[in-house]
Structure 1
Amino acid sequence: MTKDTTAWFASWFDTPFYHILYKDRDYDEAQLFMDNLTNYLNLPEHGTILDLACGKGRHSVYLNSLGYDVTGADLSENSIAYAKQFENDSLHFEVHDMCKPFGKHFDAVFNLFTSFGYFEHEADNLKTIQAIQADLNATGFGVIDFMNSEYVMNHLVPVETKTVEGITFELKRYVEDGYIVKDIAFTYEDETYHYQERVRAFTLADFEALFEKAGVYLLDVFGDYKLRKFDAKTSERLIMIFK
């Protein structure tokens, strides 16, 4: 599967196995983050939010329940097809490539849960930040919630076996050419599958360089979902607010 000409995120994210492997993600933690983030940003009542790389829409649905007008966008057609069941007058989902401007202006654009740094071409990282900026209105905020690469590399679990819904996933993690890589192998119905996740090990300094090229102003940096101060050694997340 990794030899496919399709970018890994376009194929792996579109499989049911991706959602099985990560089914136990902490929804309470995600909702706490959305509460803290929207309070911090002081978004207008019924404000508009673009959830960029929304997956199956869990953040979008919760943000909508808080009263915001939310658009969820993702490259995965299967994820968007699933998310569309939750649509209403103030919640919409569309297939979209985040390297390109969405074509509307929002009070906030959120890129959550390390949904950045997948691209093979460096230029696409800059294009994504430029696209986020283009989608902000005059008072809007961009938010990128990324992993703290230094912390992740220092706490990498090289080999792990995880069984979910009767499928045993063999996971191998390593750093290669500036990317944090996860090899995922498993057997399902007598067929062997192999996928790979590759995410650029961006540091805060890397993002600052991209922001400068994009003409974006970095307002604040947090290190976890409680919005505590970022520390390169101890923080698990790298959450950046910009405009």
Structure 2
Amino acid sequence: MSEAPNSSTPNQERNTENWFTSWFDTPYYHILYKDRNYREAQIFMDNLTHYLNLPEKAKVLDLACGKGRHSIYLNQLGFNVLGADLSENSIAEASKNSNETLHFKVHDMREPFEEKFDAIFNLFTSFGYFENDDDNLTTLKAIKESLSEYGFAVIDFMNVANVIETLVPEEVKTVDEIDFKIKRYVQDGHIFKEIDFEDQGHQYHFTEKVKALTLKDFEDLMAEAGIYLLDIFGDYKLKKFHKTESERLIMIFK
């Protein structure tokens, strides 16, 4: 789950309301997910920008950019990129890579931008976090308002059917000598991940909670937002989407 303020305090249970505002801003989030496949991400960006046929120096928004791995690579491809994320710590880290055509800012995705973009990318399941379901529609409307007249938007979400079918209920993942004890389950239309670990004598607990949005859910939201869904893919090589077998749900819209 994706890539918000104040890091964790020891021995403190987090409730799931706005869980992302604490978890994403801790160093432990980035430790746990440090082994993500950067080459796969680059291949995805290559395929996506080629498919969209974006003009040279197109203005691209990487929405919920985390520390900016996609933003940096998109900039290397020649695009004028803005990376935006709710996490102040992530943006501070990402901003170390800023240049004349690569910028970062703290931003809530529920708010539209004044400037317009040729492409807006919301990648790696960075959607469906909000406690209030209405915020999902608000976010889609904000994306629509931030697009230029001929702009395209992309949401790269998990394929819920596949995730639930292959869900690993419990595992221990050891990274940097920290044992992350992870439990996963489905409840009340959401996919939960409980994360417990100890570091330097302190116990930590975090909860990830993402709305289990299906393609039909997105289609309904997009219809209400006045968005036109152009194409759907099922993986980072842009293969056709299969409702049970595909690992990803990648939607292109305008």
Normalising by structure 2, what TM-score?
0.94
Secondary structure of the 1:130 match is helix
The one of 6, 19, 23 aligned to 1:12: 23
Partner of 2:190: 179
Partner of 1:127: 138
* Superposed CA offset, 1:95-135 (max 9, x none): 00000102210000000000000000011000100000001
Does structure 1 residue 203 correspond to structure 2 residue 208?
no
Question: Per the alignment, do residues 164 and 106 of structure 1 end up closer, same or farther by CA in structure 2, a change over 3 Å counting?
Answer: same
| Deviation of the 1:165 alpha carbon | 0.2
Q: Mind listing any 5+ residue stretches in structure 2 that lack a counterpart? A: 1-11
Could you tell me how far apart the structure 1 residues matched to 2:244 and 2:50 are? 27
Partner of 1:160: 171
Q: How many residues align?
A: 243
- Counterpart amino acid of residue 14 in structure 1: D
* Superposed CA offset, 1:132-183 (max 9, x none): 0001001100100000000000000000001000100000000010000000
| Deviation of the 1:5 alpha carbon | 8.1
Partner of 2:252: 241
Secondary structure of the 1:128 match is helix
Secondary structure of the 1:213 match is helix
| Deviation of the 1:64 alpha carbon | 0.1
| Deviation of the 1:3 alpha carbon | 3.5
Does structure 1 residue 213 correspond to structure 2 residue 213?
no
Structure 2 counterparts to residues 88-103 of structure 1, below 5 A: 88-103=99-114
Report if aligned partners of 2:17, 2:131 keep a CA contact under 8 Å in 1.
no
Could you tell me how far apart the structure 2 residues matched to 1:215 and 1:5 are? 30
Partner of 2:203: 192
Report if aligned partners of 1:48, 1:68 keep a CA contact under 8 Å in 2.
yes
For the aligned residue pairs, the C-alpha RMSD in angstroms reads: 0.9
Report if aligned partners of 2:16, 2:207 keep a CA contact under 8 Å in 1.
no
Partner of 2:161: 150
- Counterpart amino acid of residue 154 in structure 2: V
Could you tell me how far apart the structure 2 residues matched to 1:99 and 1:2 are? 26
Secondary structure of the 2:227 match is coil
Partner of 1:47: 58
Report if aligned partners of 1:50, 1:106 keep a CA contact under 8 Å in 2.
yes
Could you tell me how far apart the structure 2 residues matched to 1:2 and 1:164 are? 22
Could you tell me how far apart the structure 2 residues matched to 1:119 and 1:139 are? 29
Secondary structure of the 1:29 match is helix
- Counterpart amino acid of residue 65 in structure 2: C
* Superposed CA offset, 1:163-204 (max 9, x none): 000100000000010000000000001110000000011000
| Deviation of the 1:68 alpha carbon | 0.1
- Percent identity at matched positions? 63
Partner of 1:231: 242
Could you tell me how far apart the structure 2 residues matched to 1:5 and 1:30 are? 28
Could you list the runs of 4 or more consecutive aligned residues of structure 1 that deviate by over 3 angstroms after TM superposition?
A: 1-6
- Counterpart amino acid of residue 114 in structure 1: T
Report if aligned partners of 1:2, 1:8 keep a CA contact under 8 Å in 2.
no
Report if aligned partners of 2:56, 2:78 keep a CA contact under 8 Å in 1.
yes
The higher relative CO (CA closer than 8 Å, separation ≥ 6) is in: 2
| Deviation of the 1:7 alpha carbon | 1.2
